[in-house]
Amino acid sequence: MHLKVSRAEAEAAKRMLSKFGMLGKGISVQHRGSYVYFPLSNIDRRKVKKVLEACGASISEMAPRPGKTRDYKGGLESALGADVAHSVDTGYDHLGNIAVIDPDGMTKAQEKVLAKHILAANGAITTVLAKGGPVEGVYRVRKVRHVLGKRTFEARYREHGCVYDFDVRKTFFSARLAYERARIAELARHDRHIIVMFAGIGPFAIQIAKRNWAAKVIAIELNRYACRQMDEEIRLNRTTNVMPVQGDVKKMGGRYDGFADRIVMPLPKTSTRFLDEAFAMARDGCVVHFYSFIKMGGLPQLIGEIREHARLNSCSVKVLFTRTVRNYSAREIEVVVDYRINRIKKARPSRSTA
C-alpha cells in the first residue's frame, strides 16, 4: 500500500509519515508523472486520515519496488549529527529544477551541507537557493540568494500536465497549492465564465482552462512581469481561452460586473479587502474559492465576515466546503472557504386597488 501525493506536497507528506512512523523501510519511493508514491507500514487509520487531509493525498494499491530510497535526511544526519540535522532541516520548496531552503538558524557551512544533500537526493534539482526574507510588497515577492549548483533563478516547474517558466525573484508562486489548483480545475469543468484574481503567472487559470476548453477565464494580475510571463505560460500550455488582464482588481470598476460563474481569490494575506469586488463580479449562484490566513480556531469569525459583506451587497452565501491548506506559522493557518453567492431579490411593491 502506498500514499499517492503530488510532488509539491511530497516533502510535507514525507515529514508526517516519518513523524508517525508509517514510512516503509527498504522499499523505494516511486515517481510517476506529477505524483510521488510513498510505501506505508505500521498503518494507523486515524493518522493516515490526517496525512490525507493535510496533503491532499490518496491511498494507492501498487506493487512495492524493493531497494533503498534516496533520502537526503539520512546523509544529513551522517554529516552533521542527528540533533543538528533535525534543527536545520525544515524541508524545502521544490520548484522543478530549483529548491528553495529556509536558512533560519543555519550557518553558511550548514546551508552548503543541506544543499549538497538535496542535490544528491533529487536528480531533477540542479540549483539550491536560500530565502533572503519574507514574502512582502503588493507583488508578494521575496529575495533569494544562490547557495549551490547551477547559478540561475529561472525555474521550470511541471504540475498536472502543465509547465511554467518564471524567475523566482519576480513573482509569487507556491508549489504547495498544487492540490488546490487541481481540485478547483476539476470543480470548474462545466463553468462558462471564470475569474481568477491575483493570478500571478496563471497556474490556477491555466489548469482550469486546460480542463474546460469551453470556458472563458479572466486572469487579473497587478504585477507587470507576472502578467507578461502569463502570456508565455499560455503559449507553452496552448490555453487560448485564458485572457490575462494587467491591473488592480479594485480599479476594474464595472468591467466584469455580474460576469462570473466561479471566482478564485488566492491572496490569503489581504483577501478580505476584495470581498466587495467579488460580490460585484459574481452572477447569481457563483461559487467563490476564498483563501485567507487566520488564527487557530478563527474560521467562524472569517465566515462571519464573509456573510456581513454579503449582506451589505444584498446577497446571502452558502458555505460549501472548508479546508486547512497549510500551516503558516505556529499560530496561523491558511484556509480555503468555498461558498455560493445568492442574490437577494427585492420584493416588488404591491399595487393597491381603489
Same domain? For 135 and 40 the reply is no
Q: What is the mean pLDDT of residues 43-52?
A: 83
Instruction: State which amino acid sits at residue 265.
Output: M
| 101 in a structural domain | yes
Q: What is the mean pLDDT of residues 249-271?
A: 92
Note whether 202 and 185 are within 8 A (CB). no
Task: Give 95's strand partners.
Answer: 98
- State residue 68's pLDDT score: 43
Same domain? For 237 and 284 the reply is yes
CATH code assigned at 56: 3.30.70.2580
| 26 in a structural domain | yes
- The grid coordinates of residue 67 equal 531497494
Say whether pLDDT at 15 is over 90.
no
Same domain? For 277 and 333 the reply is yes
- State residue 81's pLDDT score: 66
- State residue 50's pLDDT score: 82
For residue 23, what pLDDT band results from cuts at 50, 70 and 90? confident
Q: What is the 3-state secondary structure (H, E, C) of the chain?
A: CEEEEEHHHHHHHHHHHHHHCCECCCECCEEECCEEEEEECCCCHHHHHHHHHHHCCEEECCCCCECCCCCHHHHHHHHHCHHHHHHHCCCEEEECCEEEECCCCCCHHHHHHHHHHHHHHCCCCCEEEEECCCCECCCCECCEEEEEECCCCEEEEEECCEEEEEECCCCCCCHHHHHHHHHHHHHCCCCCEEEECCCCCCHHHHHHHHHCCCCEEEEEECCHHHHHHHHHHHHHHCCCCEEEEECCHHHCCCCCCCCEEEEEECCCCCHHHHHHHHHHHEEEEEEEEEEEEEECCCHHHHHHHHHHHHHHCCEEEEEEEEEEEEECCCCEEEEEEEEEEEECCCCCCCCCCC
pTM recorded for the entire structure: 0.79
Q: Give me the domain span that covers residue 226.
A: 176-343
Winning range, highest mean pLDDT, from 2-16, 289-303, 317-331:
289-303
- State residue 26's pLDDT score: 64
Same domain? For 332 and 185 the reply is yes
Same domain? For 10 and 79 the reply is no
Nearest 5°: the CA angle 301, 307, 311 is 145
Same domain? For 257 and 290 the reply is yes
pLDDT tens string 146-188:
999 999 999 999 988 899 999 999 999 998 899 899 999 999 9
Q: What is the mean pLDDT of residues 60-77?
A: 60
| 348 in a structural domain | no
d(CA 32, CA 35): 5
- State residue 123's pLDDT score: 84
Last residue of a domain, one of 137, 152, 167: 152
Say whether pLDDT at 86 is over 80.
no
Same domain? For 222 and 288 the reply is yes
Same domain? For 56 and 85 the reply is no
- The grid coordinates of residue 154 equal 529561472
Same domain? For 124 and 230 the reply is no
| 241 in a structural domain | yes
Query: In terms of Cα–Cα distance, which of 108, 174, 117 is closest to 149?
Result: 117
CATH code assigned at 265: 3.40.50.150
> What b-and-e string marks burial along 24-62, b requiring 16 or more CB atoms within 10 Å of the CB?
beebebbeeebbbbbbbeeeeeebbeebbebbbbeebee
- The grid coordinates of residue 17 equal 509519515
pLDDT tens string 265-274:
999 999 999 9
Last residue of a domain, one of 100, 118, 152: 152
Last residue of a domain, one of 34, 60, 86: 60
Same domain? For 329 and 181 the reply is yes
d(CA 234, CA 243): 9
Tally of domains within the chain: 3
CATH code assigned at 148: 3.30.300.110
d(CA 158, CA 124): 11
- State residue 21's pLDDT score: 82
More confident residue, 69 or 336: 336
Q: Which of 61-70, 111-120, 282-291 is the least confident region?
A: 61-70
Same domain? For 307 and 207 the reply is yes
Same domain? For 131 and 97 the reply is yes
Say whether pLDDT at 347 is over 80.
no
Q: Which of 71-80, 185-194, 205-214, 241-250 is the least confident region?
A: 71-80
| 171 in a structural domain | no
Note whether 54 and 16 are within 8 A (CB). yes
Percent of the chain clearing pLDDT 70 (strictly above): 88
Say whether pLDDT at 353 is over 60.
no
| 187 in a structural domain | yes
In sequence order, the 6+-apart residues with CB closer than 8 A to the CB of 60 are 1, 2, 3, 4, 37
d(CA 82, CA 59): 31
More confident residue, 81 or 285: 285
d(CA 311, CA 307): 6
* Kind of pairing between the strands at 282-295 and 332-343: antiparallel
pLDDT tens string 226-248:
999 999 999 999 999 999 999 99
- State residue 147's pLDDT score: 96
Q: Which of 27-36, 201-210, 278-287, 331-340 is the least confident region?
A: 27-36
| 266 in a structural domain | yes
d(CA 144, CA 69): 30
- The grid coordinates of residue 7 equal 510532488
